[in-house]
Structure 1
Amino acid sequence: MSDHNPCMSCGICCTHFRISFYWAEGDDAPGGFVPAHMTEKLNGHLRCMQGSNSVPRRCSALAGEVGRAVACTIYDNRPTPCRELPVYFDDGAPNPKCDELRATIGLPPLPRFDLPRAA
């Protein structure tokens, strides 16, 4: 796959989903890593990123202009749902949900990546 990260010119997922995760991912828990001051409590077991729990949504860690140039200000410490959302699947096919969300802000579908064949 290319070194180009299509997320850097999109960011729509950070304004569409409630980003909820297990409370102990917060850096105020032993072994946690998500900056707790950027989260809010949902219940006894879950937190979410501030800004993602009500409409209009925008994760508090998102910087920049959606659809143009964005960045996650806590990328190395982002919560599990952000780490696990696949832009591309293992076979090089783009995630159809990404294409659906990208279309809502006028971005084109993601190209398929042809993976190198084993020799």
Structure 2
Amino acid sequence: MDEFNPCLDCGICCTHFRISFYWAEADDAPGGFVPAEMTEKLNHTLRCMKGSNQVPRRCSALSGEVGRQVARSIYENRPTPCREFPVYFEDGTPNPKCDELRATIGLPPLPQSPLPRAA
């Protein structure tokens, strides 16, 4: 059975935040993993995902229609801020910021997670 993933019908966070991260996460640095061609330099220590540094925002890795069906073309190689933004907290409660963003595009609040997240 497929695990419920509310992010696949939302994607609003990819159009709301500037997705900035340490420059060495990009794959043109030793050990980096984020495709460098999808990033832009902010300063000597930070980069961001292209499309997330101007308004209207839309991360260059986001495909599909926000609020209906979306995907991240670099999901396995996404930067740290994307990995660390919790849809659900460890106790299974929805992130209120996620619910707030979902409301801006007419999506309902997230249900309580049936199982707490694994550590």
Q: What does residue range 19-38 of structure 1 map to in structure 2 within 5 Å?
A: 19-38=19-38
Deviant stretches of 4+, over 6 Å? none
Q: Give the corresponding residue for 1:55.
A: 55
* Distance apart, 1:80 and its partner CA: 0.3
Matches of 2:6 and 2:115, distance apart in 1:
17
Give the aligned partner of residue 88 of structure 2. 88
Calculate the aligned-residue CA RMSD, in Å.
Answer: 1.1
For 1:93, give the aligned amino acid.
T
* Secondary structure of 1:21 counterpart: strand
Q: 1:59 Cα shift? A: 0.1
**Within 5 Å, which residues of 2 pair with 1:1-119?**
3-115=3-115
For 1:110, what is the secondary structure of its paired residue?
Answer: coil
- Percentage identity across paired residues of the two chains: 81
Q: Letter of the aligned partner of 2:42 in structure 1?
A: L
Deviation string, structure 1 residues 25-60 (Cα, Å, up to 9, x no partner)? 000000000000000000000000000001000000
Amino acid at match of 2:80: T
Count of aligned pairs between the two proteins: 115
Alpha-carbon shift at residue 4 of structure 1 (Å): 1.2
Structure with max Cα Rg: 1
Amino acid at match of 1:71: A
Question: Which residue type is aligned with residue 36 of structure 1?
Answer: A
TM-score by length of 1: 0.94
